[in-house]
Amino acid sequence: MTSAPTSDMPTTDDPRVPLRIRNGSAVFLVSLAGLMMANLAPLIMSVFEKVGFDVVASGNILTWGLFASALVGLSTSRAAAGAHRRALAAVGLVIAVIGFLFAAMVAQPVLVVTGFIVGSVGVGAAISTSGAAIAALRNPNRVSATSGVVNRLLVMVVLAVIPLLGLAQITVFGALALLSLLSLAVTVWLPNTPEFSAVDIAATAAEPKKSPRRVLLAGIGVLIVFPLWGTSEDAVRTLAPVLGDAVGLGEQSLGFALSAAAGVGAGAMVIVTLSGRRIGRAIPLAIALLVGGAAKIWIGLTDDPQTLAILIVAVNTIYAFAFVLFLATAAGLDARGYWSGPLIGAYIVGSSFAPIIGAWIIDRVGVPTFGVAMGVISFLLIVPTILIAQVSTSVERTLGHLGAEKAPH
């Protein structure tokens, strides 16, 4: 996946750059453009229903739109880790602006869907380029957590403003087009791709034959573990209304729980932002998966509405905390973004079908077994997650000290 180290390998202590206002604004806005469709999912479905589709068709259109963006994100991830990152982001966002603006202005249902799918394809490039660009910034824990906090705050603003303006094509798809346009304007500030990958640089360290292989296996591992974990988390979150109905949790109480979960989840991201690399990755992720898995099992077994509400808040808080650490883990593996670039795309592929998988399990074997199955997935992923996170922090440590090791004594 990377070229072999050459004799002109730089002796820099770290190929990544510090987080600044410009590069941070670019990374965070482009990332938000890639994820905003998922954040506006309920509003997008409502608009499709207004256009003339039933709820099932609306859900299918949204699912395929998310799936299309994820596939584009995966297919462009290698290019996003290369020298043409900014151009790729710009082309994708131009397509997104055109597609979403078209969907916002046309009247025929088929054309609305067409514009939406085209816009979805465009933001796929934002998914890969923003993910890869995060790896070019120092202290991946802090950068990924800050990105998550900014994402949540801006999503809260958008979700508050759109209903005030009125739920319609022009407001929902117009918001997606406007965000894509703003992100397009700052793509010139995306951080440069480092000339050499972390695998190349690590190959000059103490174990030149072992390090690249460990990084490769860890990279492949995180692209498998993260979507599997995310699918189990999203199945619980998206089916929260079904779980609430099973124990008599009212819509108002469920809405309050989900709202509280969003706020507390942002607080968990702030903790990672403030702690930075000091918090580590392996131990926090292991604890998150252990506690989160237990909470998901409890969700399936409880018959008390108040307990369910508390558990929903807990699961969503742990989800936010672990999500940014998984992203930091992938970013830490390679400064060029070979693994963080495709990570979100891989995640969205899994999460796109999480509601279908979760509903099928509940329908076939019931809520208790559903909760146990989702919790067991977290438990099974603890050991591979620890191993992957250890490699990630080891690579980051190597990058941080390589220059000192090469310096003459």
The string of pLDDT tens digits covering residues 135-165 is 889 888 889 888 888 888 888 888 788 888 8
Give the pLDDT score at 194: 80
Asked if 199 contacts 74 with a C-beta cutoff of 8 angstroms, the reply is no
Range among 177-191, 325-339, 358-372 rated most confident: 177-191
Give the pLDDT score at 74: 93
* Helices and strands (DSSP H and E) totals, the chain: 18, 0
Question: pLDDT category, 407, cuts 50, 70, 90?
Answer: very low
Give the pLDDT score at 244: 86
Question: pLDDT category, 200, cuts 50, 70, 90?
Answer: low
Residues 391 and 291: their CA atoms lie apart, in Å, by 23
Give the pLDDT score at 11: 47
21-189 and 198-406, same CATH topology: yes
pLDDT(14) > 70:
no
Helix (H/G/I), strand (E/B), else coil: 17: strand
CATH 1.20.1250.20 correct for 21-189: yes
Percent of the chain clearing pLDDT 70 (strictly above) = 90
Going by the DSSP 8-state scheme, the letter that residue 137 receives in this structure is: B
Going by the DSSP 8-state scheme, the letter that residue 40 receives in this structure is: T
Asked if 377 contacts 228 with a C-beta cutoff of 8 angstroms, the reply is yes
Residues 6+ apart with CB under 8 A from 286: 382, 385, 386
Residue-wise pLDDT for 259-283, tens only, equals 787 778 788 888 888 887 788 899 9
**What's the rounded mean pLDDT across residues 333-353?**
87
Residues 22 and 81: their CA atoms lie apart, in Å, by 19
**What's the rounded mean pLDDT across residues 355-380?**
91
Least confident of 43-47, 292-296, 378-382: 43-47
CATH 3.40.50.300 correct for 198-406: no
Asked if 335 contacts 198 with a C-beta cutoff of 8 angstroms, the reply is yes
